[in-house]
Each structure stands twice: as structure tokens, then as C-alpha cells.
Amino acid sequence: MTSIQQHNKHPHDYLWWKHGVIYQIYPRSFYDANDDGIGDLPGIIKKFDYLIDLGIDAIWLSPINTSPMYDCGYDVSDYYSIDPIFGTLKDFKELLAIAHSNNIHIIMDMVLNHTSQLHPWFVESSSSRYNMKNDWYIWHDGFNGKPPNNWKSAYLSSAWEKNEMRRQYYLHSFLKEQPDLNWHNQQVKHAMFDMMQYWLDLGVDGFRFDVINYCYKDKNLRNNPFSFKPFNDQIEKYNKNGLESYILVQEIRKLIDKYDNRMTVGEVFSYPPGNPALSASYLCKGKGLHLAFDFSLLYQPFDSHKIYRCIKNWYNHIPEHCWPCNVLSNHDQQRYADKFSQEDNDSIKRLMALLLLTLWGTPFIYYGEEIGMKNTSIPLHKIVDPAGKRFWPIYKGRDCARTPMQWSDEANAGFSHTMCWLPIDSNYRTINVKHQLKDRYSLLNYYKDLIRLRKNHYALTHGSWEPLIKGKNGIIAYIRKADSETLCMLLNFNDHATHIHHHYEAQWKVLFSTHRSRFEHFADLRIDCYPFEATILQKIGDL
């Protein structure tokens, strides 16, 4: 049978970014400590006991640098400061200290492709054609009063904006308020590396790089080829994934490796989303990013065959001596808990959680996922996300997955004592942390148990991955094996009981299950699975 081996089996080390669990926090929505309706760093500090109790190893913070917030912080105007809506640099240092004292690591979101139009660099660059930063961004005269080429922004309009002071066009791959930096300029590269070194010296444990594959564009600004794909009539050949991008991530890796136990994870964006070959290429065979996101799994229906095929395809692209990561939701995607229409939704959440936390690779949990938060329906007049405003009603934006954390059944879900920056789903009265902490069998306690189990079983963090049942008849089954421990994961995607008979000469006992007692035993994997059952079996003798 096919077996994908883990490449760092001995010695028995535990790398936090490789074997631990990473939790993504969208700071605007985690907890509001100063009652302005927006989450902040003091709010994260105040709720830190919750994070410790959850059992995570690291926190990825969506952008907290100073920003005019045209795109919720992904338009940075000062890379060296913390935006006042989130707190101060002192607050950030306090968060770092508390996290490190509890053996939890902090990952900052880093936007390298573009800045805010209000960044002093762009203010100077746009002031004239003759200044010290005149080519820190991508400028061009255009042709006959038209943009330089056919490149489109993520908002499907021209990626070029006319600047009247310079009487030139500048490139913006996203909003016009987010001008793209010219990474071919060595001064830009040095400035960005100095900035990253500043945060590393401060004690940050790693970076999540936003759209890292966009940094280098074709120097000659050639037109992209035509495409017949819906919603995008061009193949994005020249406006991203330049060969220099691979050199860039390797240079970043050299900087990171000067520090002890740090990491990088990259968003390698493609259209349509989910391109495992592209994402894995930025690992550069172990010399580039430590981790890269592949979003294929986020776009799969609740179908065992398609989900298995997606996982296997991702693993097949991971180079030797490299490591995958796995994710179900994030701030740019709809929450997975709301994707499936089956009535027994709670069982499905548990099944998908067990899948995420037992696969080979580093699991990322999006805040609120552990309590089953759903996408919130938000009316147009309350949408903040520029994509939601631009494409309404065809696409209603990303705000539905960014709503405030539901802490309790109190007003505003216990997130704030005032009007929140986004509406809170009315289900907060039943889906909240306070309620689930009291229920031993809640989804939250299920996540905590799973994370604890993962930490206590070497096969789940370091073991090989061997598929047994490849999505056939609604079943996915795989083995995780390390040293003398063998575990088998059984997942029934069917809404009905399903018999499994897979010849594997061994005696098994239930280690963890959504449906079963831990005292049950089986031989040769002869099992009648309950609807939406997810179970971990341990080979008897591997104790």
C-alpha cells in the first residue's frame, strides 16, 4: 500500500510549527477589551487562559500593523507599529511574553506584495517622477491614454490606476488603495528584510506571508494570455509567480534560519483557488517556505471520494523532506461548518475535526471553528469587506466568516459591551463558549480532547500516513504509524450505517470516537460504522 513517510522520525523532537496545532485569530473579532466594538490585543490577553486550555501551540494573528483599513489591515501604512484600534506596541510585547511563558508561539501576518497608498513610501513615490523612491512601486506611462497592459486586479477591473501628480499609472493587484511594491528594486527588498528582522529580534516566532507569489511581476509588463475561464478572461501568467519569487522565499528562509525555532507559512494564491502543485513549489524542496497553504480541501463538497482524492493529490506534491499543512476555514473563505446541508450537522463537524487533527501535517484551526460557528448573513449596508461591496449580490463577501467570537449568551455574544463592528449571528444564544464549556460532550470539549490526544500519540504528530480505504462507498480510512504505535482512522461520510470489512491482520481497540465506547475491540477491521462516525483505533500491543 502507498505510504507517505514523515521525514523527521528520529530523534523524538517536537517542532511547534510541524507537530503542534496552530490557531488563527482575526484580531478584530476575538475579544473587545476597550468596548469600541472592535477586538484588540488586550482582548486576546484577557482570553489567553481559554487558548491555553484549548491546547494550541501557536497563534497566527491576522494583520495588526498600522493601516487605514481599506482592506481590514492588509493595506499597511507603517510596518513598525501596531494600529491603535488593536492597542500599542507595549500590548504586543505583553502578548508575546504571556504566550512564550506558556510555550505558545506568535505568528504575524506579513504583507510584502503591496502597501497602503498612505504609506510614506508611496506618498513620496507618487509626489513626482524625480524623488528618492520614484521606482519603489510599479509605474508606467501607459499607451495612448490607456493602461500599460491587460492585467486585472482581484476585483476583475484593471490593475492600473492613473496618478495625476506623476501623470502615470501605478499597479495594484488588489484595491487601488493597495499599490504594489517594485521588488525588482533592491532598496525595496532591503527595507522589507530590515522590517522582518525587526520583528524577529522582538521575539516573533514566524510569519504568515500574504499572497507571497505576487511579489515579482514580469519586468516587460507583457499582456496575460486570453482565457475562457468564467469570471476571469485571462491566464495570470505575467502578473505573479515570477521566477524571482522562488529566490525570494529562499532568501527569506536564510534570514529566518539565523534565528532559533522560527517558521514561515505562505498564502500562494491562484485562480481558481486550490493548486497543490503551485503551493508545494514554494517549499523549494526544503529551502523555501516551511509551510504553504493549499486551499483545495476548502472547496470540496462533503464527499468521501473527492475529499480523499484532494488530500492524496496534496500529499503527492509535497517534496521529500518537506511538510504539509491542512486547513478547513480561514478569514477569506466561508466557514466549513456551514457548507453541509445534512441535518446531523454536529456529527459532521466532529468528523471533519477528527480528519483535520489526524492527517499528516500541521493543522490550522480558525477561531470559532472549535465551537461550530457558522457563516453569518450580513445585509449590504453593514458589509465592511470591499469584495462583498464590489460583487454584491453574486458574492456577498468574506465578512460572513469574520464575525465576532461567540463567548456567551449575553448581549453581543459577550464579545463587547457596545455595538460590534460586524453583526453577530443570532445563534450565539446556543453556540457559544460558555455554554459548551459546561457540556462535557460539546464540540469545544471534543476539540480539546482531540488536541490532547494528538499531543499524547507520537503516531499522530510524527507518523507515516498510509491510506486503507480511499473514499470508496463513503468511507475514508488511513493508518498513522510511528515506532511501535499504529493507529487507524475510520471516517464514515454516509448518513446511514455502513459495514467495513478490510483485511488488516491485527486486533484493535477504540482509542477515541464520536460514537463508540473505548472498551470496544475489533479484529481485522470488521466494523459496522454509525452514520457520520469518526473513530480512532489503536492496534492492540502498541501500548
pLDDT score at 382: 97
Q: Assess whether pLDDT exceeds 50 at residue 10.
A: no
Q: Is the pLDDT of residue 11 over 50?
A: no
Q: In CATH, which of 3.50.50.60, 3.90.400.10, 3.40.50.10860, 3.40.50.720 is domain 115-180?
A: 3.90.400.10
The mean pLDDT value for 83-96 works out to: 98
CATH 3.20.20.80 in the chain is located at 16-114+185-452
- pLDDT over 80 (residue 441): yes
> Could you give the CA distance from residue 516 to residue 317 in angstroms, rounded to a whole number?
35
More confident residue, 57 or 274: 57
Considering the chain, tell me which residue range(s) the CATH 2.60.40.1180 domain(s) occupy: 463-539
- pLDDT > 90? residue 388: yes
User: Which has the minimum average pLDDT: 3-7, 90-94, 373-377?
Assistant: 3-7
pLDDT of residue 519: 83
Domain 16-114+185-452 fold is TIM Barrel (3.20.20)
Instruction: Give the pLDDT band of residue 3 (cuts 50, 70, 90).
Output: low
H or E segment to which residue 19 belongs: helix 16-19
Q: What is the pLDDT of residues 183-202, one digit of tens each?
A: 999 999 999 999 999 999 99
Confidence band for 9, pLDDT divided at 50, 70 and 90: very low
The whole-number pLDDT of residue 1 equals 37
pLDDT tens per residue, range 262-282: 999 999 988 777 899 999 999
Q: Cα dist. 306→293, 303, 312, 429, 516 in Å?
A: 19, 5, 10, 35, 26
Length of the chain: 543
**pLDDT tens figures, 314-349:** 999 999 999 999 999 999 999 988 877 666 689 999
What is residue 473's predicted lDDT score, i.e. its pLDDT?
A: 96
Instruction: Answer yes or no: are the C-beta atoms of 200 and 207 closer than 8 Å.
Output: no
Q: Which of 62-66, 276-280, 504-508, 510-514 has the lowest mean pLDDT?
A: 504-508
Instruction: Kindly report the CATH number that applies to the domain delimited by 463-539.
Output: 2.60.40.1180
> Is residue 143's pLDDT more than 60?
yes
pLDDT(161) > 80? yes
Cis preceding-peptide flag for 531 (omega within 30 of 0):
no
pLDDT at 297: 93
Determine the pLDDT at residue 341: 61
Residue range(s) occupied by CATH 3.90.400.10 in the chain: 115-180
C-alpha cell at 308: 480523499
Distance of alpha carbon 434 from alpha carbon 17, whole angstroms: 29
Residues forming the active site:
210, 267
All residues at 6 or more sequence positions from 260 whose CB lies less than 8 Å from its CB, including other chains:
none
